[in-house]
Structure 1
Amino acid sequence: MSKKGSIESSNTQTMDATEPGTLTHSASENSYHSNSSNDRSYQEQISNINSQNANLKTINKHLVNQEDTLKLQGGDVARHLYSQLENVSSKELTNSKRRTRSSSFSNFLSQSRRQSTASDINIPGGFRREFLINKSLQENTEPPNFLTRNFVEFLSIYGRFAGENFDDDDNEEQYEETFDEESLLLPNERRTPPTRRPRPEKKGAANVPKTFFLVFKALVGSGILFLPKAFSNGGLLFSAIMLLCFGILTFLCYIILIRSKRILNKSSFGELGFKTHGKPLRICILISILISQIGFVATYILFTAENLISFIENYLHFSANYVSTRNIVIVQCILLIPLVLIRNLAKLSIISLISSVFIVIGLIIIFYFSIMKISVEGVGDNIVYFNSSNWSMLIGVAVTSFEGIGLILPIESSMAQPEKFPMVLSISMCVITTLFMSIGVLGYSTFGDQVKSIIILNLPQGKLSVQFISLLYSLAVFLTAPLQLFPVTKILESLIFNSYLFNDNTTTARKKDDEGKLYHFSGKYSTSIKWSKNLIRAILISSICIIAYLNANNIDKFISFNGCFACIPLVYIYPPLIHLKTYKFDRQNDWKGKFFKIFDYILIIVGIVAVIYTTYQILFLI
């Protein structure tokens, strides 16, 4: 046996020495089998991909468009991956239709839990949120919705002002994008913008109490402080009746706008105007939004200047030469320029929270001192029930106080049950109208014809609490200005940086323009575009400060003009114009439809007459 083994060994050695091609052939054969095995292993791994063992969203994020795969080197290898992802997506869609409530809800909890990250914990209350989520997972109950409990949701509504998509294009993290390997290696100046994957619309999650809070926050602002002076201009009884009428009319106009949105299936104010009356009405809507928001910010600047001057003179005892309106406006302009350059609304959440707290505290102090004064000294002097000379100035202030139409559409969209929005809006408008009437009647009854343009200036200036709230209220209104300017800057940038001036890819821009949508050309990949946007924002805030300074001595007149010229069309003319065109799309032509049709015509006629008459009165007769 050993001899036979040695002979076989010798023969093997001889074969190896004399036939080297045999070894090469054997190695090639082994390599072939190895490659075949690897290929089968690769295909098996691809075929095993599903939503349970892989994050499909992450995989899709790093893939180029399927049509472009064959243009890349080795792109054919990835076609199996695309096919598997399509199969998984179709299976998931089929299974979701058959899935029971318990299983889908359990998957929802699991997905919510998997999305928790360290950054979610590393914020105030983060550990508490994690504890509640874990508890919900154990009890198989729905985890609480934390986002709608803070001011970030209110700020996100400004990103959808008037239903338009104002999410800024200059922030890279806000888009799911695809890069090919070659483009990432190129210098920034040579890198072409990546293909953007469209994000699905987020479904509303706000419940009834949260929606009430959002409506209240949207409508109650600094305009409430001008109502006592407005009651003085209109007269006590006339002003109370008119304010009640405006509250009812505003509610009905908001309802017909929501009704039009649902019938026409359009999400923005501009799209509704474009769908019903073409580009002219869309342009009118955008211009009215621009004018109204610019007027609000100019009013905020004047309001802040008036209160700061009072605070500095009465509390710090500075000379009036150093605290003139001009100097205060210049300081505000310098401070506002960097604030309006902020492109991420989430960064303004703390500012919004602070301003809201200050406004609530200010209202409490105003009610307290007014009630104390009227209970001790009685009703103010020279109270009139109707002021025939200045009543038109009441109209503008009243309209300005109720104006919030730009936020109504996104608030309705944020609801988990949008069909309940009319009920929530009716309750909100009742509460807000009562609050407006209360402060107007109380302020005018307390101070009579001595009431000032801003009710805070009538409070005892020697009181530390009054000086403190005067300062806080000024800061609150000042910090609200960047938020009010956000839709203005986005509309201006959309109109200026259009396809004909800055964009080579005109297809997308023209398509959006044909649909009545705003086109936002991003400066993310162009330094010149981004700095041009910054320059426009700086010029905008400087121009607003100049407008504010020129109207420093007529703040109540300026507010009335802004309300009559810009806000009346937005609230009382454009919605009924749009609604009149919806009847041919609405199959339910019942008595409600006939009522609204008559109401639309009345609103349009009254609105046009009010704009012409009150604007003429304010500019030339008062």
Structure 2
Amino acid sequence: MADTPALENLNDSEAEVVSRHLHPRFTGAYDGIIEDDEDVRGKGAADHDGNQRSAFIGPSQQSSLKLQGGDTHRDLYRIEARSKRGGLDQRAATFSHPPRPETDDNLDITIRNEPGAFRRQFLWRNKRGFTNKSVPNSFVEFLDLYGRFAGEDLVESEDEADAESVGTPFDEVEPERRPLLASRESSQGDASDMKTFFTLLKAFIGTGIIFLPKAFRNGGILFSPIALVTVSIITTISFHLLLQCRRQHGGGYGDIGESISGSHLRSLILVSITITQLGFVCAAIAFTAQNLRSFVEGVAASTISTPSISTIIALQLVILVPLAFIRKISRLGLVALLADVFIFIAVGYIYYYNISEISRHGLEPTVKLFDTKTFTLTIGSSIFMFEGIGLILPIQSSMSQPDHFDRILYIVMALITFLFATVGILSYGAFGSHTKINIISNFPQSDKFVNFIRLFFSLAVLVGTPVQLFPALRIMEGRLFYRKSGHRDLLMKWKKNIFRTGIVVLCCLIAALGARDLDN
């Protein structure tokens, strides 16, 4: 228009008068963009793209360019759009990105109608949120911590494939329309100190407590608690040093090792974590086989022949292979919850029975203060007791106040050390040299409640074994398949399934060969 410069000098009230005479179904915004005033004066196309301002288009509005002769009266509709924009903050109007709703639940109608809009909303919400989950309110969500076992990123590869295929909204926006500052990802969660306390207890109290009385028999009633407390102190100091390194270098175990000594130490650390987890799996398989065999002996008596350890392990293989195919660890929540429930029931019964036995008969005469032949086995068993070390870093990252983690960790270590020591002393004091590999076998075999604990505790350990196997599988798959997803590649998925089957078979073979030496 020839008198375009005069339109710049219109005040807000005059611009509002002009807007009342324009068709309400049309607007000066095009594709969500209002052109800058400098464009009205005829700036070039290159600068035109770089000087745009965001505005909303109503659900029933269209661009005025779609009108007949729309380019002729384009400036009038620009004035109308500018009057609506007048209430915006001066700084807000300079951002060159599409408008975002104040809350994730209030998507603009034009955004909702776009393909994949809700998926992009979901990804945007996750991008703006915390990168680390808080310590959960439910035990099922607690399992997600295993996705970051030892601080490593072990998240499910299929989820990554989904994210890559859709792309984040920030990446989809053209460079000239992106926000000046991207949202900053937070590195801490919102878990309270109390939640962290109970999560640490869940992480450290596992199946090892059932084997602990035999470890006290190997070392003696005086040496064993001293060894356990010593290992606990050394472990706590190691935790302290680990947290100090984490504050200095960041990341997980592998990242810390790589920062200190390069990629070779990172690989060594990941191999150690893998071997440790596979060792837990083999021990759990052998323990389940022996416990189920004892259950059959106690219940069936002479009515049926007792199956061998190898036969029971073969039956476990049929159950473990399908469970190993599960990619999302939170789906194992129910079965893992059963394992913890029966562990706590068993611990309560151990205290009750042992205290009752000692109060009636006193200490078993065969109790030794120190066993010079097998005391070294006690040291190994004491180290095994602190099996929750891999969750230290993820739990710390999940806290709203990570600086409080050290104090909470020291309290938990003191508490579980006392728990382990008292269980070992009471059990060995009650049964002496007759203490068996797992303490449940020392209880009255004809007692229905004892058989109930033995059966369901064994089954819970069995179905909870994939939780221990998960970190090792993800670390090995990351090395072998380079985090390639089987989400859309069926061949890749079955390659991983075959690999997982092979690992489970290998663990079962090791368990079958070493079942007789489980207490060693």
Q: Quote how far apart the aligned CAs of 1:544 are.
A: 0.1
Which whole-Å CA distance do the structure 2 matches of 1:336 and 1:546 have between them?
13
Q: Quote how far apart the aligned CAs of 1:224 are.
A: 0.8
1:435 is matched with: 419
2:315 is matched with: 331
Matched, 1:258 2:243: yes
Q: Quote how far apart the aligned CAs of 1:448 are.
A: 0.2
Structure 2 counterparts to residues 1-400 of structure 1, below 5 A: 40-44=29-33, 47-49=53-55, 91=92, 111=103, 148-171=136-159, 175=163, 177-178=165-166, 200=185, 203-264=188-249, 266-317=250-301, 321-400=305-384
- Cα RMSD (Å) of the superposition? 3.3
Describe the SS at the equivalent of 1:462.
coil
- Within the candidate set 507, 513, 516, 1:550 is matched to 513
Q: Would the alpha carbon gap of residues 156 and 299 (structure 1) be closer, same or farther in structure 2, given more than 3 Å must change? A: same
Structure 2 counterparts to residues 504-519 of structure 1, below 5 A: none
Which whole-Å CA distance do the structure 2 matches of 1:218 and 1:49 have between them?
51
Specify the code of the residue in structure 1 equivalent to 2:251. S
Which whole-Å CA distance do the structure 1 matches of 2:252 and 2:319 have between them?
32
Q: Tell me if the contact between 1:312 and 1:318 (Cα under 8 Å) persists in the aligned partners.
A: no
Matched, 1:416 2:400: yes
Identity of aligned residues (%): 38
1:537 is matched with: 500
Q: Tell me if the contact between 2:32 and 2:55 (Cα under 8 Å) persists in the aligned partners.
A: no
1:99 is matched with: none
Specify the code of the residue in structure 2 equivalent to 1:156. D
Q: Quote how far apart the aligned CAs of 1:475 are.
A: 1.6
Specify the code of the residue in structure 1 equivalent to 2:158. D
Which whole-Å CA distance do the structure 2 matches of 1:92 and 1:261 have between them?
42
Which whole-Å CA distance do the structure 1 matches of 2:401 and 2:134 have between them?
18
Describe the SS at the equivalent of 1:444.
helix
Q: 1:345-396 deviations in whole A, cap 9, x for unaligned?
A: 2211212222111111111111111111111122113111111111110011
Which whole-Å CA distance do the structure 2 matches of 1:347 and 1:375 have between them?
44
Q: TM-score, normalised by structure 2?
A: 0.73
Which whole-Å CA distance do the structure 1 matches of 2:160 and 2:229 have between them?
47
Q: Could you say which structure has the higher helix fraction?
A: 1
Q: TM-score, normalised by structure 1?
A: 0.61
Describe the SS at the equivalent of 1:553.
helix
Q: Quote how far apart the aligned CAs of 1:177 are.
A: 4.1
Which whole-Å CA distance do the structure 2 matches of 1:388 and 1:481 have between them?
34
Describe the SS at the equivalent of 2:222.
helix
Specify the code of the residue in structure 1 equivalent to 2:230. C
Which whole-Å CA distance do the structure 2 matches of 1:390 and 1:203 have between them?
45
Which whole-Å CA distance do the structure 2 matches of 1:167 and 1:471 have between them?
33
Which whole-Å CA distance do the structure 2 matches of 1:317 and 1:360 have between them?
28
Unpaired runs of 5+ in structure 2?
1-21, 35-51, 60-87, 96-100, 108-132, 169-181
Specify the code of the residue in structure 2 equivalent to 1:526. D
Q: Quote how far apart the aligned CAs of 1:432 are.
A: 0.3
Q: 1:248-267 deviations in whole A, cap 9, x for unaligned?
A: 11111111101100011x21
Describe the SS at the equivalent of 1:236.
coil
Number of equivalenced pairs: 410
Q: 1:92-121 deviations in whole A, cap 9, x for unaligned?
A: 999xxxxxxxxxxxx9xx858879xxxxxx
Which whole-Å CA distance do the structure 2 matches of 1:252 and 1:93 have between them?
53
Describe the SS at the equivalent of 2:437.
coil
Q: Quote how far apart the aligned CAs of 1:147 are.
A: 7.1
Which whole-Å CA distance do the structure 1 matches of 2:322 and 2:431 have between them?
39
Describe the SS at the equivalent of 1:522.
coil
With 544-553 and 170-179 compared, the bigger mean Cα shift is at 170-179
Q: Quote how far apart the aligned CAs of 1:523 are.
A: 2.1
Q: Tell me if the contact between 1:164 and 1:269 (Cα under 8 Å) persists in the aligned partners.
A: yes
Structure 2 counterparts to residues 580-619 of structure 1, below 5 A: none
Specify the code of the residue in structure 2 equivalent to 1:409. L
- Within the candidate set 431, 443, 452, 1:459 is matched to 443
Specify the code of the residue in structure 2 equivalent to 1:209. M
Q: Tell me if the contact between 1:313 and 1:319 (Cα under 8 Å) persists in the aligned partners.
A: no
Which whole-Å CA distance do the structure 2 matches of 1:92 and 1:311 have between them?
74
Matched, 1:477 2:461: yes
Q: Tell me if the contact between 2:216 and 2:424 (Cα under 8 Å) persists in the aligned partners.
A: yes
2:8 is matched with: none
Q: Tell me if the contact between 1:172 and 1:524 (Cα under 8 Å) persists in the aligned partners.
A: no
Which whole-Å CA distance do the structure 2 matches of 1:467 and 1:199 have between them?
55
Q: 1:463-508 deviations in whole A, cap 9, x for unaligned?
A: 111000111211221122111011110111112114xxxxxxxxxx
Which whole-Å CA distance do the structure 2 matches of 1:37 and 1:493 have between them?
56
Which whole-Å CA distance do the structure 2 matches of 1:388 and 1:423 have between them?
37
Q: Would the alpha carbon gap of residues 218 and 49 (structure 1) be closer, same or farther in structure 2, given more than 3 Å must change? A: farther
Q: Would the alpha carbon gap of residues 219 and 147 (structure 1) be closer, same or farther in structure 2, given more than 3 Å must change? A: closer
Which whole-Å CA distance do the structure 1 matches of 2:322 and 2:184 have between them?
30
Q: Tell me if the contact between 1:204 and 1:414 (Cα under 8 Å) persists in the aligned partners.
A: yes
Which whole-Å CA distance do the structure 1 matches of 2:341 and 2:94 have between them?
46
Describe the SS at the equivalent of 1:363.
helix
